[in-house]
Amino acid sequence: MKIAFILDAFPKLSETFILNQITGLIDRGQEVDIYAGTGYRSCVHEDVHRYRLLDRCRYFPEPPKNRWPRYLKYLRLLLRLLLTGQFPLTRLFRAAIARKLKPALAALYRGSPLLCRNAYDIIQCHYGTNGNLAVELKAFGLKGKIVTMFHGYDLRLAQSGPPDRYKPLFSAGDCFLAISDHSRSRLLRLGAAPEKIVYHPVGIDLDRFKFSWHGPDKTLSPPFRMITVARLTREKGLGCGLEAFSLLLNDHPELSVEYRILGDGPLEKDLKKQCADLQLTPYVKFLGSGSQETVIREMARAHLFFLPSIEEVLPVVLMEALALGLPCVAADTGSIAQVLTDQVSGYIAGKASSVDLADKLYRLISRPQSWREMGTAGRHHIETHYNIHHLNDQLLDLYAKLFSGSRPAAR
């Protein structure tokens, strides 16, 4: 099949779940093109080069900010579409009547690389905003079944903005992938038809995240190392996480613990100041962003994984930690409980509760005899539910059913 991926940006270090889908479909003999906003090329996953994915990627153009150069670009695009027999006169006329000509022209211009290729069997959109773009382009003649996978920020957009933000997509889209029970319930509340929603989680490549139990009889001697891998944003709850770490050290001064934070983001300066205010600077190391190889190496050096998020849908990084055999402590938000089993593969604490997070961290650190069993349980759970190879087989089967005209069964 010919499959187009529509993404916010490519390549992007934090979206290995998308990269794994793309490479998995290529491995299965599918023809894949990528359409995206400009990504971050200075530090990319090795698969981007191994599969020569930049050669498959076409970037969305941004219209000029000045009016007349922008109108000239629009005119040139319309003339080019006229020569190919795709002149969208009727659609533009309807948009003008509805006083939506400007956004229609902007979508047409942004999606022009996709329209110039035109015919795909499947148009896989990641995030509802890109699903809306695909529906707009479908009105301009784009062919293909539109499949949209919702994640986190796109669902939050609908909560904070117009409740009918995805109304065009819910009407004209062909299938909506819910990555967790939590996201499925939110899609239903937003107005998505239940028969169009298919449960399909993101997953990880277990061949890369080799199980390695971290226990007291290994060379991982004190200081105990706890690690968080996350973007430094409000949703990740790192401010609360630092408060919990401070409480842990204050309540148990006998502990020798180092906290390593791998990731970057807009709150880096604020979090470093918080560390200084809490007198945590000697114990907390900010490592910046890193490739998947860096993530694996840093996790392999840690004793436990810590995720104090206040908003999550289905955290891939938690899957990665569990696959490596790390016992985990995470805050109870979104679908955390689908990935981490409380008191089996780690501990789940109350959301935004620094006191409870500190308590659960101490329980885990003070019970090294439980780490082997927790690590084994966590690995087994990820193998059973989030193996990307199995999930990519299911995704291809879903595409085939859509392409043939039958409706995939909700899972």
pLDDT in tens, 335-346: 999 999 999 999
Confidence check: pLDDT of 220 > 60: no
Confidence check: pLDDT of 64 > 80: no
Q: What is the pLDDT of residue 202?
A: 95
Q: What is the pLDDT of residue 219?
A: 46
Confidence check: pLDDT of 86 > 80: no
d(CA 348, CA 353) in angstroms, rounded, equals 11
d(CA 292, CA 403) in angstroms, rounded, equals 34
Residues in the chain: 411
- 275 contacts 308 by C-beta, under 8 angstroms: no
Antiparallel, parallel or unpaired: β 328-331 and 143-149: unpaired
**Residues β-bridged to residue 224:** 257
Confidence check: pLDDT of 216 > 60: no
User: What amino acid is encoded at 129 in this protein?
Assistant: T
- 394 contacts 401 by C-beta, under 8 angstroms: no
d(CA 114, CA 36) in angstroms, rounded, equals 10
Classify residue 68 as exposed, middle or buried by CB count within 10 Å of its CB (0-12, 13-18, 19+). Answer: exposed
Confidence check: pLDDT of 40 > 90: no
Q: What is the pLDDT of residue 65?
A: 78
d(CA 75, CA 57) in angstroms, rounded, equals 25
The alpha carbon of 296 is separated from its chain's Cα centroid by a whole number of angstroms, namely 18
> Which candidate, 33, 59, 215, places its Cα nearest to that of 123?
33
Which tokens sit at 320?
Answer: 């990665």
Q: How many other CB atoms are found less than 10 A from the CB of residue 64?
A: 14
- 306 contacts 298 by C-beta, under 8 angstroms: no
Pick the more confident residue, 258 or 115.
258
Classify residue 258 as exposed, middle or buried by CB count within 10 Å of its CB (0-12, 13-18, 19+). Answer: middle
Domains within the chain, CATH numbers bracketed? 2-60+111-203+388-404 (3.40.50.2000), 224-385 (3.40.50.2000)
d(CA 184, CA 190) in angstroms, rounded, equals 10
d(CA 333, CA 185) in angstroms, rounded, equals 14
Q: What is the pLDDT of residue 270?
A: 98
Pick the more confident residue, 221 or 159.
159
- Least confident residue range of 214-228, 287-301, 319-333: 214-228
Percentage of the chain beyond pLDDT 90 is 69
pLDDT in tens, 268-303: 999 999 999 999 999 999 999 888 889 999 999 999
d(CA 171, CA 146) in angstroms, rounded, equals 11
This prediction has a pTM of 0.88
Q: What are phi and psi of 145, to 5 degrees?
A: -75, 130
> Which H, E and C letters describe the chain, residue by residue?
CEEEEEEEEECCCCCHHHHHHHHHHHHCCCEEEEEEEECCCCCCCHHHHHCCHHHHEEECCCCCCCHHHHHHHHHHHHHHHHHCCCCCHHHHHHHHHCCCHHHHHHHHHHCHHHHHHCEEEEEEEECHHHHHHHHHHHHCCCEEEEEEECCCHHHHHHHHCCCCCCHHHHHHCCEEEECCHHHHHHHHHHCCCHHHEEECCCCECCCCCCCCCCCCCCCCCCCEEEEEECCCCHHHCHHHHHHHHHHHHHHCCCCCEEEEEEECCCCHHHHHHHHHHCCCCCCEEEEECCCHHHHHHHHHCCCEEEECCCCCCCCHHHHHHHHHCCCEEEECCCCHHHHCCECCCEEEECCCCHHHHHHHHHHHHCCHHHHHHHHHHHHHHHHHHCEHHHHHHHHHHHHHHHHHCCCCCCC
- 292 contacts 208 by C-beta, under 8 angstroms: yes
Confidence check: pLDDT of 181 > 50: yes
Mean local confidence (pLDDT), 13-17: 85
- 402 contacts 145 by C-beta, under 8 angstroms: yes
